[in-house]
Structure formats: structure tokens, C-alpha cells
Amino acid sequence: MFKIVVLISGGGSNLQSIIDTVSTSKVGYEISCVIADRECYGIERAQNNHIETKIFDRKILKKDISKKIDEYLGDGIDLIVLAGFLSILDEEFINNRRGRIINIHPSLLPKFGGPGMFGMRIHRAVIEAKEYESGCTVHYVDAGVDTGEVIEQNRVKVEAEDTEETLQKKVLVEEHKLLPKAIEQVLDKLK
């Protein structure tokens, strides 16, 4: 059984999609721990499902957050899943776990990725650019921001009447489908 760790910063709806998949499907992995970089509702979701949790406050730890997470995890973790995790992991952490860290991003990378592109900023940029489609991407994490190899993408049509909020909701539905699927795909390669 593969062991995954999920890193979060917010409400944890993508975390919930992974929890639901693990509890309702026969998958070859379990969530060993959920780590947050601040107090957030996602921690409560994990605790409600009897999953170990840990908070490493990014405001206190700043650049040491990667080091503290690495020390806490040690060995024995097969995959780290960034599911709305807003802290940037340092290059040493990434290099030590190359090919074993993935991230979900709410756009069709390489479009609308990079530093400062998170949350509603992405959906606003998509609408302002008058894009006809948007979606979400699961990619491997590398030393850049949203520059790692794309694993899988799901697309949604951007309608003329879409707002940032309606587009976010449509993309989030696809994120919840895509992330559990991509986790299994990546773990299959590790077998």
C-alpha cells in the first residue's frame, strides 16, 4: 500500500475528493498525513476522517518550512500531493523527492501559472484574456513555480456569461475528478 501526504492551505475540497476516493474505491494508497501551512478547515476535514494532521505555520517558519516538513516526513512516503498548498517548497526539498511531488493548478498550464497566480486571480485573468476554455492541471513539482511536467488536464468551456466565481466552480468540479485519477496514474509508474 502506497503512502501519500497531502499538503494544504485552505478549505481542503481537493483533499476531500481524495478522502472520498480512498473510502469508496479500491485504491492502492492511503493518506498517511495532512500537513497545512496555517490553521484551515482542511485540517478539520482530515481530523474528521481520522487522518493524522500537522501544522507548520508559514508565517513563523518562513523559509524553514520545507526543512521542517522534510524532517517530519522522513522516509517512507511515496508521494506528496499539493492540493491548494500556497507555500513554495525549496529546491533541496524538491530535488530530494523528485518525481514524487505533484500539484494541482486551476488553469491549463502553462497558461496562467507562475508566481502570484493562485485563487481567483487565475479565473479573473482567464476571463480578462477572453479565453474560450480553461480547466485544471496536475503536474510534477520542479524548482520553478507551475513549470513541472504536465501529468493530466481537464478542460471546461468558458461561457460569455461566466464570472470569476462561476468559472472557479466549474474548474473545481474538474479538479475533484482529476486529482484522484492523477494520483493513481503517478503511483502506477512507481510500482
Taking phi over 0 as left and psi of -120 to 50 as alpha, with beta for the rest, 130 belongs to: left
Q: In this structure, what C-alpha cell is assigned to residue 182?
A: 492523477
Tally the C-alpha atoms within 13 A of residue 82's C-alpha that lie toward its C-beta: 26
The per-residue pLDDT string of the chain (191 residues; one tens digit each, 9 = 90 and over) reads: 999 999 999 999 999 999 999 999 889 999 999 999 999 999 999 999 999 999 999 999 999 999 999 999 999 999 999 999 999 999 999 999 999 999 999 999 999 999 999 999 999 999 999 999 999 999 999 999 999 999 999 999 999 999 999 999 999 999 999 999 999 999 999 88
- Cell readout for 133 is 476554455
> What is the predicted pLDDT for the residue at 25?
87
Question: What are the angstrom distances between the C-alpha of 135 and each of 4, 104, 107, 147?
Answer: 24, 11, 5, 16
Domains of the chain, by residue range, sit at 2-108+137-153+175-190
The CATH class of 2-108+137-153+175-190 is alpha beta
Determine the Cα–Cα distance for residues 16 and 52; give it in Å rounded to an integer.
14
- Residue identified by cell 522534510 is 70
Which residue in the list 50, 105, 123, 176 is annotated as catalytic?
A: 105
| 189 half-sphere exposure, CB direction, 13 A CA radius | 10
Examine the residue annotation and report whether 105 is marked as an active-site residue of this protein.
yes
Angle between helices 13-24 and 41-48 (to 10 degrees): 10
- The reported pLDDT for the residue numbered 191 is 84
